[in-house]
Copies of this chain bind each other. A is one copy, B any other.
Amino acid sequence: ETTDIIHYIPYNAAMSPKITVELLRQLRQAMRNTKYIAEPIQAYIVPSGDAHQSEYIAPCDCRREFICGFNGSAGTAIVTEKHAAMWTDGRYFLQASQQMDNNWTLMKMGLKETLSQEDWLISVLPENSTVGVDPWIIAADQWKNMSKALASAGHSLVAVQDNLIDAIWMDRPTRPSTQLLTLGLGFTGLTWQDKMTALRSKMAERKISWFVATALDEIAWLFNLRGSDIEYNPVFFAYAIVGMNTIRLFMDIKRLAVPTVREHLQLDTPSKVELSIQTAPYESVFTELQAVCASLGPKEKVWISDKASCALTQVIPKAHRSPIPYTPLCLAKAVKNATEIQGMKMAHIKDAVALCELFAWLEKEIPKGTVTEISAADKAEELRSQQKDFVGLSFPSISSVGPNGAIIHYRPLPETNRTLSLNEIYLLDSGAQYIDGTTDVTRTMHFGSPSAYEKETFTYVLKGHIAVSAAIFPNGTKGHLLDSFARQALWESGLDYLHGTGHGVGCFLNVHEGPCGISYKTFADEPLEAGMIVSDEPGYYEDGLFGIRIENVVLVVPTKPKYNYRNKGSLTFEPLTLVPIQAKMVNTDLLTQKERDWVNEYHRQCRETIGAELERQGRKEAMDWLIRETQPIA
């Protein structure tokens, strides 16, 4: 699945807007209610996102959707006494305009004439206004920028501790508190105690006294625990504060009553005093962090992610605060250990078995005209769920036929659901969570006869995929330097795709994770290192016709080319995904011999590794399909 899309996605679902008259009346009342704030506020900002800056959020955190009706992944709503406006980007212009009623003004980000949130506020607010926001769901740096801009125009930004949306949201879902899963050494390779010791040695190295963990996947990774509080992401709501002799874990205390969890965390019988975990309710992180900060020595420093919430960040006095773009947990988590790599390999084998079965089944079923985007995705899920240690999907499947394939973040809906046929390209971007690993794979197939143009563009995408996968590069190279390898063949023919080429992938964790990636956008990515796992997913999208994407999850591995300049060492990628790439879609004349060799070697690996597992599982039809689809190309 791609992350950073700047593609303008046509939104083709018919839908009626949410009626918000009454909600806005209630919100404006709350903005004047001294129960929540000492003085009335003249504007209230409703960002998307939760207190942990999660990419996917739980239903109880969908506050922006609740107030305006727009349910896209990015958008900020602002309500003043007279106006209501919602900012989103080009992907969502159509969708937002259909989902919001006329109480709302759609602010189209990226267009020249669109005011920024700050400038708009300044243009509509009366003099000396107060703007409120929930400090838990605004990041510290966003707070700073907004606060500065408002101050320069004589207004002020204030933190409203009670969320005003929650105050008017009658049937707001409760925060999920799902059962926790404890992961043993066989899955994690390191005990949580090992990870804690490694974290503390990083802290000692940088003379840091405390570390505040706020990202849910980092906390899950640190404690070798998983939950299912957020769909597709095996995480749970928690915070942690780690000192050199102290560990504080904040979460719904009920979850810690389970004996396996108590034992896993050694809550009753800690092995050492510095590995004894003090647990406290989720909400108490604020006061506990205050207490920690109150006892800080003059030179003591506290690490916190620069993406953490304003509320928690500001608890730490500035002189003691050491904000970091990537926490030590984020960096440690990105480099998978041998056990995690083995688990990821196992997960990808099981995933490939399910996909081979799916494609063999599709070949049989499509001619009957009964398979749709939704039923194909459901079948894929069903087949995956038969595999050992399956937990769930790792993101909503992108199952798209023909023109729907050109919508990069398409999700089939009953209104848009197309039938798979022998005439149109089918693109399936899907993945699963298994206890041993996370998968994410895209295959683009034609079940009839692809046109010359479809084959040509598919082949350019394949050339790009191979160029990244087979790239050799020095240790210390950042992923963004590899992005143009994926585009070279397309560029030579005047083509391109408007998304990044790859993202980090967690191990039975989030399918998108930092700090590495492969993108033309030069975000502050960390250099690639052996053991990191990323996706390699170039594509090509012809609006109104078809979409092509070829995605493998690949492991960064050391390699030894002929020379070794300055003893730096070299890296390359090893595909973890082992699902045949449809040879029918390839115009082999456009491939170099090296590229043909790569395809044949890749298919040999698929046949060998997945073949053995299909054999073991006795899945004969899929086996026949695999054998046929992995014939060497000439």
Contact = CB atoms under 8 A, between A and B. Distances in A.
A473 interface: yes
A562 interface: yes
Contact of A496 (B471, B494, B560, B565): B565
Interface in A474-529: 474, 480-485, 487-488, 491-496, 520, 522
Given A484-B482, A484-B484, A491 B472 contact: yes
A474 B493 contact: no
Contacts of A492: 472, 561
A570 interface: yes
A473 B484 CA distance: 9
A491 B471 contact: yes
B474 A491 contact: yes
Nearest to A524: B522
Interface string A283-324: 000000000000000000000000000000000000000000
Interface in A435-487: 471-474, 480-485, 487
Interface residues of A, number: 29
A493 B592 CA distance: 19
Contact of A484 (B481, B560, B563): B481
Contacts of A617: none
A481 B487 CA distance: 10
A493 B487 CA distance: 22
Given A485-B484, A522-B480, A568 B496 contact: yes
Interface in A553-569: 560-565, 568
Of residues A488, A494, A562, which shows the largest number of chain B Cβ atoms within 10 Å of its Cβ? A494
Contact of A493 (B494, B495, B561): B561
Contacts of A568: 496
A564 B570 CA distance: 36
Contact of A494 (B471, B480, B483, B564): B564
Contacts of A570: 491, 494
Contacts of A480: 522
A154 to B, nearest CB: 13
Nearest to A453: B563
Nearest to A541: B565
A496 B473 CA distance: 9
A564 B473 CA distance: 31
A563 B491 contact: no
Nearest to A561: B494
Contacts of A522: 480, 522
B481 A483 contact: yes
Contacts of A483: 481
A504 B261 CA distance: 61
Nearest to A318: B152
Residue from A491, A493, A561, A562 whose CB has the most chain B CB atoms within 10 Å: A491
A563 B482 contact: no
Given A480-B522, A481-B520, A563 B493 contact: yes
Given A484-B482, A485-B484, A496 B472 contact: no
A473 B485 contact: no
A55 to B, nearest CB: 24
Contacts of A491: 471-474, 561, 570
A455 to B, nearest CB: 14
Contacts of A562: 493-494
A485 B482 CA distance: 9
Interface string A95-110: 0000000000000000
A493 B570 CA distance: 9
Nearest to A562: B493
A495 B473 CA distance: 9
Nearest to A476: B496
Interface string A559-601: 0111111001010000000000000000000001000000000
Interface string A533-568: 000000000000000000000000000111111001
A493 B473 CA distance: 9
A597 to B, nearest CB: 14
Contacts of A592: 592
B485 A565 contact: no
Contacts of A563: 493-495
Contacts of A495: 563, 565
Contacts of A565: 494-496
A488 B480 CA distance: 14
Nearest to A542: B565
Contacts of A484: 473, 481-482, 484-485
21 contacts: A471-B488, A472-B492, A473-B484, A473-B487, A474-B491, A480-B522, A481-B483, A481-B484, A481-B520, A482-B484, A484-B484, A485-B488, A491-B561, A491-B570, A493-B563, A494-B560, A494-B561, A494-B562, A494-B563, A494-B564, A592-B592
Given A474-B491, A493-B562, 15 more contacts: A472-B491, A472-B492, A473-B491, A474-B494, A481-B483, A481-B520, A484-B485, A485-B488, A491-B561, A493-B561, A494-B560, A494-B563, A494-B565, A495-B563, A496-B568
Which 10 residue pairs spanning A and B have beta carbons closest together? A494-B561, A494-B563, A522-B522, A481-B484, A495-B565, A493-B562, A472-B492, A473-B491, A494-B564, A494-B570
